């Protein structure tokens, strides 16, 4: 047998410049999957659908990716990298909290709007695939870390959170965002309205972190 297609590596490092980009088929597969995700849910998309949309053979698909999940993982990484820098105002710790927070939340909304299909897909799938699970949990941890840092940098907030697990508070706010953005992308009211989404998230974050403890409770 001659056509052994190398043990594991992709289309081989040493290639100079005749084929269009480095690995065109791989990109075509990623693009096709991304496009399909814009209209259909991940688990209803088969490998057959992807290769048909990309105009690539089945063999090539499995040459570049071990499976559907790996394609999704790559798409998520790219989307999230792009979003990482959008959240920079909040993560960097500069600016006043309120302003930075609003920027971050707005950035999240935009990120989810632009990548609804891909992000919806991973949120629905990370529970059932080890690779995706690790990817998404790590992502959430990254955001959580940033928030923990901001909290710890502010003695006033630390005081108000007295006795609470700081990491848990930060994580809960991170996951609240994940959930609300997801619900918006999944057309669950009332979060389909961007302004409502942003205001609600903003309220929860500011009151949880910067709000005074409940004093009077009527009723």
Partner DNA sequence: CGGCGACCATACATGCTGTCTGGTCGCATC
Partner DNA sequence: GATGCGACCAGACAGCATGTATGGTCGCCG
Distance CA 88, CA 209 (A): 19
Smallest gap from residue 199 Cβ to DNA (A): 40
**Which of 90, 80, 167 has the alpha carbon at shortest distance from 123?**
80
Smallest gap from residue 3 Cβ to a copy of itself (A): 35
Torsion of CA 112, 118, 120, 126, to 10 degrees: -130
The 41-60 contact track toward a copy of itself, x by CB under 8 A, reads x-xx----------------
Binding flag, residue 200, a copy of itself (CB under 8 A) = yes
Question: Which residue lies nearer to a copy of itself by CB, 20 or 155?
Answer: 155
Which one of 56-64, 65-73, 95-103, 110-118 is the stretch in contact with a copy of itself (CB under 8 A)? 95-103
End-to-end CA, the chain: 81
Residues 5-34 touching DNA, rule: CB under 7 A, are 5-6, 11-12, 15-16, 18-19, 23-25
Residue 23's binding partner among a copy of itself, DNA, none (Cβ under 5 to 8 angstroms by kind) is: DNA
Distance CA 66, CA 57 (A): 14
DSSP 151-171: HHT-HHHHHHTTTS-HHHHHH
Which one of 61-69, 105-113, 158-166, 170-178 is the stretch in contact with DNA (CB under 7 A)? 61-69
Distance CA 1, CA 212 (A): 73
CA atoms within 13 A on the CB side of 165: 6
Binding flag, residue 86, a copy of itself (CB under 8 A) = no
Residues 6+ apart with CB under 8 A from 111: 79, 82, 83, 86, 119
The 8-47 contact track toward a copy of itself, x by CB under 8 A, reads ---------------------------------x-xx---
Distance CA 33, CA 71 (A): 8
Distance CA 41, CA 26 (A): 21
Question: Which residue lies nearer to a copy of itself by CB, 79 or 123?
Answer: 123
Q: Which residues bind a copy of itself (CB under 8 A)?
A: 41, 43-44, 93, 96-98, 120, 124, 127-128, 137, 150, 153-157, 161, 163-165, 167-169, 171-173, 175-176, 178-180, 183, 186, 188, 190-191, 193, 196-197, 199-201, 203-204, 206-219
């Amino acid at each position: 047998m001659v056509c052994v297609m190398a043990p594991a590596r992709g289309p081989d490092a040493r290639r100079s410049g005749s084929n269009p980009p480095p690995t065109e088929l791989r990109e075509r597969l990623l693009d096709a999957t991304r496009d399909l995700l814009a209209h259909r849910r991940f688990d209803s998309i088969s490998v057959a659908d992807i290769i048909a949309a990309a105009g690539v053979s089945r063999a090539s698909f499995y040459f570049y990716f071990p499976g559907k999940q790996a394609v999704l993982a790559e798409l998520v990484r790219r989307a999230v990298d792009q979003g990482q820098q959008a959240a920079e105002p909040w993560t960097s710790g500069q600016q006043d909290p309120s302003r930075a927070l609003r920027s971050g939340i707005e950035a999240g909304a935009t990120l989810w709007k632009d990548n609804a299909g891909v992000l919806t897909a991973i949120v629905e799938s990370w529970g059932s695939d080890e690779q995706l699970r690790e990817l998404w949990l790590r992502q959430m941890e990254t955001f959580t870390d940033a928030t923990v840092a901001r909290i710890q940098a502010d003695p006033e907030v630390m005081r108000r959170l007295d006795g609470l697990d700081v990491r848990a508070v930060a994580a809960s706010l991170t996951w609240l965002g994940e959930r609300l953005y997801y619900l918006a992308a999944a057309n669950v009211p009332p979060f389909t309205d961007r302004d409502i989404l942003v205001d609600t998230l903003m309220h929860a974050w500011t009151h949880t972190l910067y709000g005074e403890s409940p004093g009077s409770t009527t009723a």
